[in-house]
Amino acid sequence: MDFASLLGIISGLALIISAIIMGGSADVFVNVPGMMIVAGGTIAATLLTVQFKDVLNAFKGAFIVFTQDKTNPQEMIDTMLELSRVSHRHGLLKLGDVESSSPVLKRACMLLAEAASEQVIRNTIQNEIDSLVARHHSVQDVFRKMAAYAPAFGMLGTLIGLIQMLSELDNPETIGPAMAIALLTTFYGSLLATMVFLPIAGKLKSRTLLEVTNLEIIREGCISILTNDHYMHVYEQLSSYIPAAQRKKIKVGKKQQG
Convert the pLDDT of each residue in 9-62 to its tens digit.
788 888 888 888 887 777 778 888 888 999 999 999 999 999 898 899 888 888
What gap in Å lies between CA 122 and CA 104, rounded to an integer? 12
Res 1: pLDDT: 57
Which of 27-36, 44-53, 65-74, 203-212 is least confident? 65-74
Convert the pLDDT of each residue in 165-188 to its tens digit.
887 777 777 777 777 778 889 999
Q: Specify the pTM.
A: 0.81
Tell me: pLDDT of 253 over 60.
no
Length of the chain: 258
- The model's confidence at residue 247, banded by pLDDT at 50, 70 and 90, is confident
> Who's near 101: CB < 8 A, 6+ residues apart?
none
What gap in Å lies between CA 38 and CA 187, rounded to an integer? 10
DSSP states along 101-156: S-HHHHHHHHHHHTT--HHHHHHHHHHHHHHHHHHHHHHHHHHHHHHHHHHHHHHH
- The model's confidence at residue 258, banded by pLDDT at 50, 70 and 90, is very low
Long-range contacts of 39-43 (CB under 8 A, 24+ apart): 39/188, 39/192, 41/149, 41/153, 41/156, 41/157, 42/146, 42/149, 42/150, 42/153, 42/189, 42/192
- The model's confidence at residue 128, banded by pLDDT at 50, 70 and 90, is very high
